[in-house]
Structure 1
Amino acid sequence: MVAVLAAGCSAPGPTGAGGAGDGAVTATIGDLDPEPIGPPPTPRLPVTVGSQDGAEVTVTSADRIVAVDQYGTLGETVFALGLGGNLVGRDTATDFPAAAGIPNVTPGGHSLNAEAILALRPSVVLTDSSIGPHAVQEQIRAAGVPVVYFDGERTLDTTTDMIREVGRTLGVPAAGDALAERTQQQIDQALASVPQQQDPPTIAFLYQRGAAISMLGGPGSGADDIIKAVGGMDAGTASGLTAAFTPVTAEALIVAAPDVILMMSGGLESVGGVDGLVQMAGVKQTPAGENRRVIDMDDSVLLSYGPSTGRVIGALSEALYGEQAR
């Protein structure tokens, strides 16, 4: 069975695999703002850390932090460590209410602007390979700003490691350890609540930005791991995709035959909601399209693999299985 979860739906009731019901639903975690692990900690700096790009970087101040990656993971983690008041620049995906007043230095979603970042006078830039161009990060480093790269892979296995690394980089290792422990406990609790299925649903993740950008998630997309976490099978991977994201064709969707579609909320809204989605080529010919079985979730949390990951798994599980997951 294929389940496709689509972010951004506004729908009546939970969709369920295995007979839990048809229709579209928005999976929500309640308050989108990350919950700080405690009062704002006092960074103990300087520290020298190994950056993912191989450089040794010395951080002398965490007073003015810029955190930028494609998923919003780093910005969310800074807030959850209790250092949200020190964040002066963010990415598009760091879009929860508490970050609304912080300048967005990636207005296009994926591209950095060196001048905009340097104008914020950052004391440290946290980033990874998911965003660029790389030359911009190097330009910022050449200007004398410490730039620390983190692992760009987003999986359940890397979530708590990254939290700890961010804590160490900002001189608050105790807060990082505590936040990692809380996050792992929440993940474990959420995984334990996922109903066991004799026939695991196949779930397709569709990344959509209007009619022009339509990508089906595959191995390494980040969506594949969250789909596995809720007891599903990733439709893109099962249908033979080898890349993290592949341009969608009607034929590919029909072959994948998803029962449910998973998307980010902004992506679903960009095609006119569920009504617009089911009119797209290939979608209407899938079980998901026929039954309007779509699950969406806020762009800022769905693939962040940060401190909210446990709540994300729990919300998606309830959206997918309904009362079975309660």
Structure 2
Amino acid sequence: MSVTSGNPSVRTQWTAGVRTGWSRCVLAVLALTLVAASAACGNDSAATSTGQRGPATATLNSLDPVPIGPEPTPTLPVTVRSFDGADVTVTDSSRIVAVDRYGTLSQIVYALGMGSKLIGRSTVAFPAIHDVPNVAGGNGSLNMEGLLAQRPSIFLTDTVSVTPPLREQLRAAGVTVVFFDPERTMDGVVPQIEAVATALGVPDRGKALGQRTRDEIAAATAAVPKQDPPLSIAFLYLRSTAITMLAGPGSGADSLIAALGAKDAGAALAEPFVTITSEAMIAAAPDLLLVMSDGLKSVGGVDGLQKVPGIAQTPAGRNKRVVDMSDSVVLSFGPNTGRVIAALSEAVYGARPA
């Protein structure tokens, strides 16, 4: 006999109960769905399923380049083609000044075993040459007075650090200047090492250092964990909240990110560096932020970085997924490059939250 037959009151109660139970079931399913969706959106679990979560620092055992051998004896004079197109004859490499934005040329000189000959350097410097006079301005450009005071026998620089008017002043002062390519790429690392060595009269030493660097880069890139899909990494250039820039094609950061098996979040930019805006960061949507250590400190660390426009709205910002590395090596693209890639790979893919 049906429990509802002949009793409208019972039938009504039974129907209400069925509806209530069904409603509770539907609400429970909806609640579970919303929790899962919230977790996916809030934690970006798909983007952080592998590798480092939270902030991490990529470190080298030593920031100093490792000399390829004892101090060599240069074979001079030598005539080389400078990057500005001029043929330059070098007769003396006993007093070397090296200036470029990231300190690459100083690193090469030191790694060639000629660190004792370095009498002037860039603002960005590694520990072994901190006592060498800085002849660059605050933005990495040349301090002409400081340079001439060192009486260099050869000045190594690039076409970004020295403007055309300064080039004329250097020529008028009789300074032997050799310019090098300012572009930062993986393919350019070894040719630049060999070009510097040739200008200093130690070409064989340059070939040896170039081969060591090539082997280290190859080993480091081969060891990078494969990711599918690849991480999206944005390189940020920070100098207090007054200068916050997102790196793009031609910045050097794009080449470094590629070596890490990742996708450059700034690939769509029209310039190597552009000022950060909320729109640009949200559109880039990086999984991870790569920054210079001093730059990160200048904005107040990871918490301060969250206040930069758009950062908190990115997957990297929500997860505080930030990797920093010393200013003196991260974009240097010199003899430390293989070690830089290895250290970044460990920090990006192997570190745990700080």
Q: Is the 8 A contact 1:51 1:149 kept in 2?
A: yes
Paired amino acid for 2:79: T
Instruction: Determine which structure has greater relative contact order: mean sequence separation of CA pairs < 8 Å that are 6+ residues apart, divided by chain length.
Output: 1
Residue 55 (1) aligns with residue 86 (2): yes
Matched residue, 1:263: 291
1:206 to 193, 211, 236: 236
Q: Distance in 1 between matches of 2:133 and 2:49?
A: 44
Secondary structure at the residue paired with 2:132? coil
Matched residue, 2:108: 77
Q: Is the 8 A contact 2:194 2:207 kept in 1?
A: yes
Q: Is the 8 A contact 1:91 1:109 kept in 2?
A: no
Aligned pairs for 1:209-248 (under 5 A) are: 209-237=239-267, 240-248=268-276
Paired amino acid for 1:296: D
Q: Percent identity?
A: 57
Aligned pairs for 1:47-196 (under 5 A) are: 47-93=78-124, 95-196=125-226
Q: Is the 8 A contact 2:79 2:88 kept in 1?
A: yes
When normalised by structure 2's length, the TM-score is 0.84
Secondary structure at the residue paired with 2:324? strand
Q: Is the 8 A contact 2:213 2:337 kept in 1?
A: yes
Shift of 1:137: 3.1
Secondary structure at the residue paired with 1:83? helix
2:55 to 24, 27, 50: 24
Structure 1 stretch displaced more, 71-80 or 277-286: 277-286
Q: Distance in 2 between matches of 1:172 and 1:18?
A: 48
Paired amino acid for 2:323: I
Q: Distance in 2 between matches of 1:21 and 1:190?
A: 18
Matched residue, 2:331: 303
Secondary structure at the residue paired with 1:104? coil
Spell out, residue by residue over 1:220-275, the C-alpha distance to the aligned partner (whole angstroms, 9 max, x if none): 000000000000010011xx212101111011101111111111111101001111
Spell out, residue by residue over 1:179-227, the C-alpha distance to the aligned partner (whole angstroms, 9 max, x if none): 0000000001001101111110111000010011111000000000000
Matched residue, 1:9: none
Paired amino acid for 1:269: K
Q: Which has the higher helix share?
A: 2
* Aligned residue pair count: 306
Secondary structure at the residue paired with 2:341? helix
Paired amino acid for 2:248: G
Matched residue, 1:45: 76
Secondary structure at the residue paired with 2:290? strand
Residue 279 (1) aligns with residue 307 (2): yes
Paired amino acid for 2:215: Q
Secondary structure at the residue paired with 2:188? helix
Specify every segment of 5 or more residues in structure 1 that has no aligned partner in the other structure, as ranges.
Answer: 1-15
RMSD: 1.4
Which structure has the bigger radius of gyration? 2
Q: Is the 8 A contact 1:235 1:258 kept in 2?
A: yes
Q: Distance in 1 between matches of 2:52 and 2:158?
A: 40
